[in-house]
Amino acid sequence: MRKHIKNSSKRKWVVGGVAFFGAVALLTTGFASWVIGINQREGYQQFGVTVDTVSNETCYLDFKIDAGQTVKAGEHEAVNTGKVMRTGSDWSAENDYDFSITYKYRVVIGAAVAAKPNQITITMPTTMPTDSEPATENVNTWNHPVSGAVAITAADLNGELQSAPGTHTTSGTYIELSTTERGEIASSITIDLTGHDDWGTTAGAETAADFDSGEVSGTLYFTWGSFFNNQTPCTYYNSLNYKDIMSAPTKVQTEMSAFSGLNNPKITLKAELTNKA
């Protein structure tokens, strides 16, 4: 909308303008000229710079198992009596069982690591990240019986399965870790690293410090899993009180054939630097 200005108001603006410029003319009479302006083409400021320190927070674990090592899952001695036997004529300690392997590890800890790991924790995982080695999500699946490999149930027995509840099923395990050869089942094994708390604390040690002078060796043990109630197969099956002694051998054979038919499965271990609680 156009705004209308009254003539009287317009005259005031004009008169005022003339008076203003007249004053400027009077003011500048007798002077050459004034140039008023700002001509700053560069600017300089000073400020502080904070430089972060450089620190080594490396945590590195090199855990190795030499090629060619195997766990031999067999009877620990000849069994010549009972419903299930492993006779001495074809049993040998050399060929039938070996529930231990040797490992090597080397740890590198940076001097600036605040909470230095004080142990290595070893487990038999059922899943692994896809970017790990081996590059697969599901590992150690062979260690659980498939559905067709479970033939004996509580209904076949006079009494219990003599196994932890629900473990003589597909959720049971054939082999487990142990602190000693053929000892109790252990969900994990820890290697104590305490006593080596001086990693990277020497003079000028803003670099990684090696654990000792190189690799450290040790022995890792296994035992029979929960599917066999932490017992050898002969001990387990001979301890059961079967209702139908005629059908029992077939069912035992079904379960043992599934186990003995495993095609050289690979045990996957996970070793991780951890801290004790």
The predicted pLDDT at position 120 comes to 87
More confident residue, 59 or 241: 241
Q: How far apart are the first and last CA of the chain?
A: 80
Cα–Cα distance measured from residue 88 to residue 92, given in angstroms and rounded to the nearest whole number: 8
The answer to whether residues 224 and 167 touch, using CB atoms and an 8 Å cutoff, is no
Cα–Cα distance measured from residue 105 to residue 122, given in angstroms and rounded to the nearest whole number: 12
More confident residue, 101 or 52: 101
Q: Where are the alpha helices (DSSP H) in 67-190?
A: 93-96
CB neighbours of residue 125 within 10 Å: 14
pTM beyond cutoff 0.75: no
List, for residues 212-246, the tens digit of each pLDDT value.
Answer: 446 778 899 999 999 999 999 999 999 999 999 89
List, for residues 121-177, the tens digit of each pLDDT value.
Answer: 999 988 876 666 555 667 889 999 999 999 999 899 998 777 777 899 999 999 999
- pLDDT-derived band at 75 (thresholds 50, 70, 90) equals confident
Q: Which of 116, 123, 112, 124 has the alpha carbon at shortest distance from 275? A: 116
CA dihedral 177, 181, 184, 189 (to 10 degrees): -40
Whether pLDDT at 54 is above 70: no
Average the pLDDT over 85-89 and give the result.
Answer: 79
The predicted pLDDT at position 107 comes to 78
The predicted pLDDT at position 114 comes to 75
List, for residues 27-36, the tens digit of each pLDDT value.
Answer: 444 444 444 4
Average pLDDT, the chain: 74
